[in-house]
Amino acid sequence: MSVTLSIIYLIATVTFVVGLKKLGHPDTAKSGNLIAAIGMALAIIGTIFIHDLEVPTIIYVLIGIAIFIGSLVGWLIAIKVEMTKMPELVSLFNGFGGASAALIGIVEFGNADIKNIDVTIVATILSAIIIGAITFSGSLMAWGKLNGSVKSVIKIPQYNIINNLFIVSILGLATYVVLGNVDSSLILYALLAGGLVYGVLFVMPIGGADMPVVISLLNSLTGIAAAITGVLYDNMVMLVGGILVGSAGIILTIAMCVAMNRTLASVIFGSFTSAASDQEGGNKALGSIKSTTASDSAIMMNYASNVIIVPGYGLAVAQAQHVIHELEDLLTAKGVNVKYAIHPVAGRMPGHMNVLLAESNVEYEMLVEMEDINPQFNNTDVVLVVGANDVVNPAAHNDPASPIYGMPILDVENAKHIVVNKRSMNAGYAGIENELFYNSKTSMLFGDAKKVLTDLVAELKNM
């Protein structure tokens, strides 16, 4: 490797670290993303043009065409994607990263003299193929589950045992290839197919409320696959980039599990069950519900001293983030103290609500994390829950039989008055009934979030 290329890789590595650091705060996230992108562009240009290989001109042309098409498609997707579709987009990006690693592994297996090379190289190649394949199909399955086209119901007896035996079989076959120096394309593609199938089996049974954890885990696997390809090519920038993504994904996965009071094993090997009611009249075992109007809700908030807004996925679906910011500004102008309560796993991916509200220019200081906001609910006059469900469900505290029992939630039930905006009484993403809706202090404000919030704003302006 030339000195020039080494320097370029060093600069690119530094930009990755700086960019990742800046992504930790909304005020610097945009510049951090740009810095990391510039570093990646430098690394790509250096890799293509600074090397010791004799490359035909046609290869440069094909690479240029591929980069142009990929950049154009990525740019179009980025500017057109709706905020509600961001989790699906993240899953697809994870999947394509895994697919790239698997393809690199297949190419390297074909080019290598398997019978005469070190077993560690063979193991690295097979690791890239298996992890890449699992990440690709698993991410596509997560994408399907997030957009609702794939359901989570698994009714096969002893499913986890079958699943575990399947991955053990894949690892056993890979071990046979490595230790036996077996040069077989048939076994290679069997491992590829096995990885693809396991990716589907791995994600299929995972419950809806656990999807933020799954996205983080798949993101980590993508980084690991990238790091493995960096080892194959002795490419430091690929190795460091993969390590950064992989380690960040693992840290985030652990943080999500802690936020839900669940172990990673329980997320992977367990799933939430559905016990929901579709009736607007309520669940007889829990009691009855009471409805309210935008006018009555506006009156409560107008004369309140402290209001906490709890955003959820329903807010994103309705694309009502700008209207809720207008509501917040209006209440603040009237002397009301307004804050947003942010649960770590609200939405469909880690940080979903933070990104959503940042898009509407909500001040970052107004977003209060769960640990800090929970003690404040006792002194809150009105809580407005917009599209959130599982993260405010008191069953996590009260019902040992509930699948979410023990999961830390926002203690909305402690507020003096609670207004919950939902389209209907349908269950949340975890598919379980919410006790909060039947609380005597709770009033249900049914309707599309954007319309309801617009009505609230109109009522407040007339007061």
pLDDT of residue 275 exceeding 50, the answer is no
One domain for residues 435 and 309: yes
pLDDT-based confidence at 431, cuts 50/70/90?
Answer: low
Rounded average pLDDT over 195-212:
80
54-63, 108-117, 220-229, range with the lowest pLDDT? 108-117
Rounded distance, CA 401 to CA 394, Å? 13
Find the domain containing 41 and state its range: 1-80
Q: Which of 80, 96, 118 is the last residue of a domain?
A: 80
Are 224 and 230 in contact by the 8 Å Cβ rule? The answer is no
In a domain, 275, yes or no: no
Are 241 and 219 in contact by the 8 Å Cβ rule? The answer is no
Q: Which of 44, 59, 80 is the last residue of a domain?
A: 80
Our count of domains for the chain comes to 3
One domain for residues 131 and 117: yes
One domain for residues 38 and 88: no
One domain for residues 75 and 171: no
pLDDT-based confidence at 430, cuts 50/70/90?
Answer: low
One domain for residues 309 and 220: no
Q: Which of 52, 80, 108 is the last residue of a domain?
A: 80
Label the pairing between strands 337-342 and 417-422: unpaired
pLDDT of residue 224 exceeding 60, the answer is yes
One domain for residues 70 and 88: no
> How many Cα atoms within 13 Å fall on the side-chain side of residue 127?
18
pLDDT of residue 463 exceeding 70, the answer is yes
pLDDT-based confidence at 276, cuts 50/70/90?
Answer: very low
Its sign, for the CA torsion 322, 325, 331, 334, is: negative
pLDDT-based confidence at 207, cuts 50/70/90?
Answer: low
Residues with a catalytic annotation lie at 390
One domain for residues 377 and 252: no
Rounded average pLDDT over 79-91:
79
One domain for residues 116 and 230: yes
In a domain, 287, yes or no: no
One domain for residues 60 and 203: no
Structure confidence by residue, pLDDT tens digits, 111-127: 888 788 888 899 999 99
pLDDT-based confidence at 403, cuts 50/70/90?
Answer: confident
In a domain, 325, yes or no: yes
One domain for residues 76 and 95: no
